[in-house]
Structure 1
Amino acid sequence: MESYLVHPSGPLTGSINISGAKNAVLPLMAATLLCRGVSTIDNVPQLDDVNTMADLLRHLGAKVNHQHQTLTIDSRACTHHKAPYHLVSKMRASIYVLGPLLARLGKASVAMPGGCAWGPRPVDLHIKAMQSLAAQVHLEHGNIHAHSGRLQGADFSFTTVSVGATANMLMAAVLAKGTTRLFNAAIEPEIDNLIDQLNAMGAQVFGKGSHTLVIEGVETLQAARISAIPDRIEAGTYLIAAAITQGAITLQQVEPKHLKALTNKLIAAGAQISSGENSISINASKRPLKAISVTTGPYPLFATDLQPQWLALVASLKGAAQVKETIYHDRFQHIPEFVRLGAKIRLQGNIAAIIGNPELSGAQVKASDLRAGAALILLGLIAQGHTQVHDIYHLDRGYHDLPQKLSQLGGTIQRLGKEPSIQPIRLCG
């Protein structure tokens, strides 16, 4: 299996460009199923999750072409309504095809989704949302089966804020008859990006940026061109990488307002942050940073997808802090791997209590999920000796050119394959 070998690298410096957001691109791709035409999505990163969604769309009858950073999707021949297990099991975002298939074809059969290995993330809200639009939905043999005539507009209130269920409901409701009102909807930037795409296709969605969305159903939609927003999680990961190495870097092609929760915490920790229209600079070299506690929450609060990276930062600083996870209470499978590197962390329910240890030691560790893998690489940049991160297929799902971008900033990281074999790494400490 392939792995990353990470060397202690000193302060990161320089400038990199941030890629398009994986979490925005995937629902944008699914939404192209709603029309019969050739859609274009710009600023698309080369990621395994994007490739998986492309394969799923091809299975449903679409023609998908990904060149450079542009995706073209010809959905005119999409007549298949079954999303099979061998594709859907690779990532949870595959469930995004449920709403579009039901709205366009009147039926959908989607295998229960897979993806990161932590935590039960039930599809109940997706099912209830479709049922509120007069769809018949049931689970059988690990598949979600849904059918309907033309969907009917309705009022629906999300019991918890859900980005995925909000996106699925939006895509289903735009072709429903009548008016749909969504309450307690997610307001993540990725949802706004999807709303922009749907409206460009001829939908009538109102209330962007608020927790109440109103959709006036239309008869048909047409193909459109949309650009994916910058990846705020990738950007946040590199900002934390600069902080953990006491570096000074600039991120280009980024949206600063999407990262306010993180940059406010970095400023509180002692880093200097400055923002341009499409750039963010961080300087963490002036003085040792302070360990600052965080609590995750729905946007605009601190993102759960930055929790492992922030945990890595405070684990490397002097002082005590807490990280409280309110989105996925058991999203702490990375803690045992952090401990292997010398981190001092005690887990109590959904709260990780950290006593910082700047003297970390390299070890062999495993990425339990996408963001945990990134966090382990950040720790490897400052740990004494070498750190070898295994199960890096998780990272391929969500980070475009990670070794190259870190190398641009002065980091030292190698991708190792099955061949040639390498010498065993001495475990330090």
Structure 2
Amino acid sequence: MSTYIVEGGRPLEGAVRVHGAKNSVLPILAACLLAPGECVIHNCPELSDVTASLDILRHLGCRAWRQDGECVVVDASAPTGWDVPDALMREMRSSVIFLGAILGRMGQAKLCAPGGCELGPRPIDLHLAAIRALGGTITESEGGLRCAGALRGADIVLSLPSVGATENAMLAAVCAQGTTTITNAAREPEIVDLQQFLCTLGARVRGAGSSVITVEGGHALHGGEYTVMGDRIVAATYLAAAAAAGGEVEVSGVDYRHLSTVTAVLNEAGCTVQSDGTRVSLRSGGMLRGVRPIRTAPYPGFPTDAQAPLMAALVRGEGCTVFVENMFESRYRHVDELARMGADIRVEGRVAVVYGVPRLHGARVRAADLRGGAALVVAALAADGISRIEGLHHIDRGYQSLERDLRALGAQIVRS
């Protein structure tokens, strides 16, 4: 089992470019199933979740391969399958995003329960409600779902602005006859990225980035070429690492506006942050101060995926910071591991109170989920001594060669 060995206490210096966004590329790969022909996807990171998506596409009868490093080609000219077996579904939680695409293209779909990080209940009720609104019939049995039916345009009102349900509704609606309106849609930048890709394929979708998305379904689609947006959560992680360890770094390849809530917190904590187009630079002395309460919320609020890395940066310093996790019930699984390194954090329900400490020490810790694993790396970079971080399969789901990028910034981190 792979382990990160991190020697902390060294400031970070230099520049790094983030890879394509995991949360964009997964629905974009699912969308490739809708278009007869080849889709060429640039800035597609080498992540285990991406590998799982490509395996699903191949199982469905598509041809899919990687070429020239960060470029992936998917040929969905003649898909033959409409089911995703249990083994593939369990590889990643977001595998449910294939539901709308398979049903739209093949007229039926069969999926098992999805896998991925254990972050508490993430019911797919909103996904299923959207499919039903479009005319799909759903039968649940033996831990799986069977969907069928000719889809037609409809008015879909989401009770919550769920990212996954918004994406599934968009994918299915592209193949539905007539116009679909999705109200209370998620507004995340990754939704905008999916809309732009669908339009590249010939779909007619508008409104992404607002709370109402309109899809004119039933139009003929074709292959296309597209470049995925940069990963704002990876960028937030690198900025948190520099804030925690000290030093000066520049992160590029990401829209600075997508990071505004994160950079505002880092500014308040005592860092100097400057933004320019697709670049964000940060300078830190390494000792941060507590900030006003951080409450995770749907975009444009503070992203839940950045909560753990920012918490790890704020455990070393002065003052107190309160975190309120509004998105997932079990997103403080990194807290006990941070405590092994000397952090002082009290958790009650969805609230975590971080009391800054003057120093952290190296320890053997284990990642329990993707962003919690990144948080342990952030803390290890700021700690005195050597830390050993296990459970890297979680980190590999969302970070391409995390150790390589951090070494480029001067970190002492190796994978063994």
What is the TM-score of this pair, normalised by structure 2? Answer: 0.98
1:78-157 aligned within 5 A: 78-149=79-150, 151-157=151-157
Does 2:271 match 1:271? yes
Matches of 1:85 and 1:141, distance apart in 2: 11
Q: Which residue of the partner structure matches residue 421 of structure 1?
A: none
SS at match of 1:95: helix
Q: Deviations over 1:366-389 (max 9, x none)?
A: 100011111101111122221111
Task: Give the equivalent residue in structure 2 for 1:377.
Answer: 377
Map 1:321-360; keep pairs closer than 5 Å: 321-360=321-360
Residue 394 of structure 1 deviates from its aligned partner by 0.6
In structure 2, how many angstroms separate the alpha carbons of the residues matched to 1:174 and 1:250? 39
Distance 2:101 2:161 in 1: 21
- Aligned-partner SS, 1:361: coil
Q: Distance in 1 between matches of 2:318 and 2:414?
A: 29
Could you tell me whether the CA contact under 8 Å between 1:204 and 1:218 is conserved in 2?
Answer: no
Question: Counterpart amino acid of 1:88?
Answer: M
User: 1:210 aligns to what SS in structure 2?
Assistant: coil
Cα offsets for 1:259-281 (capped at 9, x unmatched): 11101111112211111222110
Q: How does 1:275-354 map to 2 (within 5 A)?
A: 275-285=275-285, 288-292=287-291, 293-354=293-354
What's the counterpart of residue 426 of structure 1?
none
Output the amino acid matched with 1:176.
A
Q: What count of residue pairs does the alignment treat as equivalent?
A: 414
Q: Which amino acid aligns with 1:381?
A: L
Whether 2:178 is the aligned partner of 1:189: answer: no
Deviation string, structure 1 residues 157-178 (Cα, Å, up to 9, x no partner): 1111111110010000011111
| 1:35-114 to 2 correspondences below 5 Å | 35-67=35-67, 68-114=69-115
Q: Is the 8 A contact 1:9 1:411 kept in 2?
A: no
Partner of 2:268, secondary structure, is helix
Q: In 1, Cα distance between the equivalents of 2:23 and 2:324? A: 23
Q: Are the equivalent residues in 2 in contact too, given 1:206–1:214 (CA < 8 A)? A: yes
Structure 1 residues 268-277 or 303-312, which shifts more? 268-277
Mapped to 1, the partners of 2:187 and 2:287 lie a distance apart of 35
Letter in 2 for 1:15: A
Give the alignment of 1:223-234 within 5 angstroms. 223-234=223-234
Task: Report the CA distance between 1:330 and its aligned residue.
Answer: 2.2
Displacement, 1:122? 0.8
In structure 1, C-alpha distance between the alignment counterparts of 2:125 and 2:144, rounded to whole Å: 13
Question: 1:389 & 1:224 partners in 2: Cα distance?
Answer: 41
Q: Is the 8 Å Cα contact of residues 16 and 250 (structure 1) preserved in structure 2?
A: yes
Once the two structures are superposed, residues 232-280 of structure 1 have per-residue CA deviations (whole angstroms, 9 ceiling, x without a partner) of 0000000001100122100122211111110111111221111122211
Name 1:419's counterpart in structure 2: none
% identical aligned pairs: 40
SS in 2 for 1:194: helix
User: What are the within-5 Å matches in structure 2 for residues 7-26 of structure 1?
Assistant: 7-26=7-26
Deviations 1:194-243 (A, max 9, x none): 00011111111121210011111124211111110000000000000110
Distance in 2, Cα, partners of 1:266 & 1:399: 21
Instruction: Report the equivalent of 1:242.
Output: 242
- State TM-score, norm by structure 1: 0.95
| Distance (whole Å) between structure 1 residues aligned to residue 24 and residue 307 of structure 2 | 19
Q: For structure 1, which segment, 97-106 or 213-222, has the greater mean C-alpha deviation from structure 2 after superposition?
A: 213-222
Report the equivalent of 1:427: none
Aligned AA (1:101) = I
Q: Kindly provide the amino acid, as one letter, of the partner of residue 110 in structure 2.
A: S
Q: Which amino acid aligns with 1:328?
A: F
1:425 aligned partner: none
Q: In 2, Cα distance between the equivalents of 1:396 and 1:349?
A: 28
Aligned residue identity for 2:91: K
Separation in 1 of the partners of 2:177 and 2:58? 28
Letter in 1 for 2:167: A
